[in-house]
Structure 1
Amino acid sequence: MNEQQYNITQEEQGTRLDKWLTGHLEETSRSQVQSWITDGHVLVNGQSVKSNYKCQLGDDIEWSIPEPEPLEIQPENIPLDIVYEDEDVIVVNKPKGMVVHPSAGHESGTLVHALLYHCTDLSGINGVMRPGIVHRIDKDTSGLLMVAKNDKAHASLAEQLVNKTVDRKYIAIVHGEISHEYGTIEAPIGRDLKDRQKMAVVEGGKEATTHFRVLHVYKQFSFVECVLETGRTHQIRVHMKYIDHPLAGDPKYGPRRTLDLNGQALHAGHIAFTHPTTNERLSFDREAPESFQLALQQLEKKA
């Protein structure tokens, strides 16, 4: 059982219980949380309440979530853009719209389902739900991911991420005309205190550093390259919003009036790392998807 306890802060009071708890439990749907509340797995001040209960300052929230039954993930014949593969590592160019691994609400059609069809020898360090997955990119972010085919490779790649020796470059279209060519954003990231389903720059958050370079400035938009020094959840999306240049098309962190992209204009176009066995430095690049390039062409026409 996943047992936890929490006291509601001043910033959180007035929030519906189901919304608040969904924000605390990553990758869990609101409907699943509502089911747990109904079944009595969530107590407020020792009492069962309804999902729409409005949290009050100082409320003592306790939850004892039953461990999910292990799922047997069935391989799915989903086409993959394999950039590189050997007996230790796969580098894949993930399409926009694909979730990396199974979670509540995403029980099929993920990158993991496709990888298991492509090969059965994936590392088991991250468990049955995330075989081979060393790092992630968001559903609507496209681009390059390295995947481990055995535990030795997984440990090596994970250590490189911790030691910041993996090079990761993203390209993005952001709102606003950035007046300088280079910038570095150093701002800690944690759960948004006003909306627990979002991340934000918050005091006491995890250290996060993003470097960016302006590639081109259009009317009301800028085309930038971002280099991650750390890998926090939604890092580029949160950091660019923090400096008032949110990503175009971003439904969570951007403005409502934006480019019609069906998701944020963000592409992981470059990755480089040291091979776990040969120690050779490997480097890979992939162009952004057609929707991203069309958006740039439209901005060019309006300039």
Structure 2
Amino acid sequence: MEEESGSRIDKLAAAQDEQFSRTQVQDWLKEGYVLVNGKPVKANYKAVAGDEVTIHIPEPAELKIEAEDLHLDVYYEDADVIIVNKPSGMVVHPAPGHVSGTLVNGLMFHCKDLSGINGVMRPGIVHRIDKDTSGLLMVAKNDMAHEKLVNQLVDKSVTRKYKAVVHGVIPHDFGTIEAPIGRDPKDRQKMAVVDTGKAAVTHFHVIERFEDFTLVECELETGRTHQIRVHMKYIGFPLAGDPKYGPKKTLDLDGQALHAGILGFVHPRTGEYMEFEAPAPKEFDDILIELKKNN
């Protein structure tokens, strides 16, 4: 404990395990789950040499997931799969702090048969897109479909193409970013390109250049958390509006300018290749109109 002497206990406790967020630890401190020398302390307590820190991780609260009529934009549906066009601002599945208004809540209202492989919190969810990213998602209605769709993701045979507006003018028309992605050691709420990360590959090509921005299409070969956002920042062209990875001075957007517009896969039962395309939402197109005016 000598090396950490003088550190706040919330920061020190959070550093014990990368799965602990500092906010979560602060809540545990308030509830008396974090003890120093057998006694509860406040979050601003400064550790001293010799302190014995004990963390009693509480049992997770059982979340009751309710079906909600969220008027989902369903692009395709049969007995095995559903293709949904998720709006920006919608969380994919419930979690503490987000137990309603998620895609899963809407799916539970829309249909009663969803695969159970990912448990009650993520029924049918084969892959995810970020809360503030809009676009197409495939959902499995039974375990057979789920397994076969996941296998296609693992085999990198699913077509996933995104449109994005990035800061800066990309000089070359095509590019491939191959850089491993893992948890950012400086901020566990973020992902970053790190040596210890998992392999990640993003292909992109320029659609249109503007004065200070570029419209690109990105195609995922892998599907790491925040992959396009992290990779574009890594090469010096962060996404416009991105609150986590982009600059503060940016376009007037509620989140990153990223839309999952094309999704293709082999149907798990028929073996037929299917591809779907969803146009970008109005707010995305409005940004492009403004950028064209300034060209």
Distance 1:233 1:44, change over 3 A: farther
Q: Matches of residues 65-214 of structure 1 in structure 2 within 5 Å?
A: 65-214=57-206
Question: Which SS does the other structure have where 2:232 is aligned?
Answer: helix
Amino acid at match of 2:61: E
CA contact (8 A) 1:99 1:111 kept: yes
Cα shift readout 1:161-208 (whole Å, capped 9, x = no counterpart):
111111100000000000000111111111111111111111211111
CA contact (8 A) 1:41 1:65 kept: yes
Question: Which SS does the other structure have where 1:24 is aligned?
Answer: coil
Partner of 1:262: 254
CA contact (8 A) 2:264 2:274 kept: yes
Amino acid at match of 1:230: T
Distance in 1 (alpha carbons) for counterparts of 2:294 and 2:48: 50
Distance 1:179 1:197, change over 3 A: same
CA contact (8 A) 1:186 1:208 kept: yes
Instruction: Provide the aligned length of Structure 1 versus Structure 2.
Output: 293
Of residues 233, 238, 252, the one that matches 2:244 is 252
Point out the structure with max Rg over C-alpha: 2
Q: Matches of residues 11-30 of structure 1 in structure 2 within 5 Å?
A: 17=11, 20=14, 24-25=18-19, 30=23
Distance 1:129 1:50, change over 3 A: same
Amino acid at match of 1:259: L
- What's the RMSD between the two structures over aligned residues? 2.9
Structure 2 length-normalised TM: 0.90
Amino acid at match of 2:177: I
Question: Which SS does the other structure have where 1:159 is aligned?
Answer: helix
Identity among equivalent positions (%) equals 61
Alpha-carbon deviation of 1:121? 0.4
CA contact (8 A) 2:8 2:47 kept: yes
Alpha-carbon deviation of 1:17? 2.0
CA contact (8 A) 1:18 1:33 kept: no
Q: Does 1:221 align with 2:222?
A: no
Of residues 3, 26, 42, the one that matches 1:34 is 26
Structure 2 runs not aligned, ≥5 long? none
Alpha-carbon deviation of 1:99? 0.4
Question: Which SS does the other structure have where 1:200 is aligned?
Answer: strand
Q: Does 1:277 align with 2:273?
A: no
Distance in 2 (alpha carbons) for counterparts of 1:288 and 1:16: 42
Q: Matches of residues 228-243 of structure 1 in structure 2 within 5 Å?
A: 228-243=220-235
Distance 1:262 1:70, change over 3 A: same
Distance in 2 (alpha carbons) for counterparts of 1:23 and 1:223: 39
Distance 1:111 1:239, change over 3 A: same
Amino acid at match of 1:24: E
Distance in 2 (alpha carbons) for counterparts of 1:80 and 1:22: 41
Distance in 2 (alpha carbons) for counterparts of 1:68 and 1:244: 40
CA contact (8 A) 2:232 2:238 kept: yes
Amino acid at match of 1:237: R
Alpha-carbon deviation of 1:107? 1.2
Alpha-carbon deviation of 1:42? 3.9
Alpha-carbon deviation of 1:213? 0.5
CA contact (8 A) 2:10 2:22 kept: no
Question: Which SS does the other structure have where 2:187 is aligned?
Answer: coil
Distance 1:210 1:39, change over 3 A: same
CA contact (8 A) 2:176 2:203 kept: yes
Distance in 2 (alpha carbons) for counterparts of 1:259 and 1:23: 36
Amino acid at match of 1:76: E
Structure 1 runs not aligned, ≥5 long? 1-6
Question: Which SS does the other structure have where 2:189 is aligned?
Answer: coil
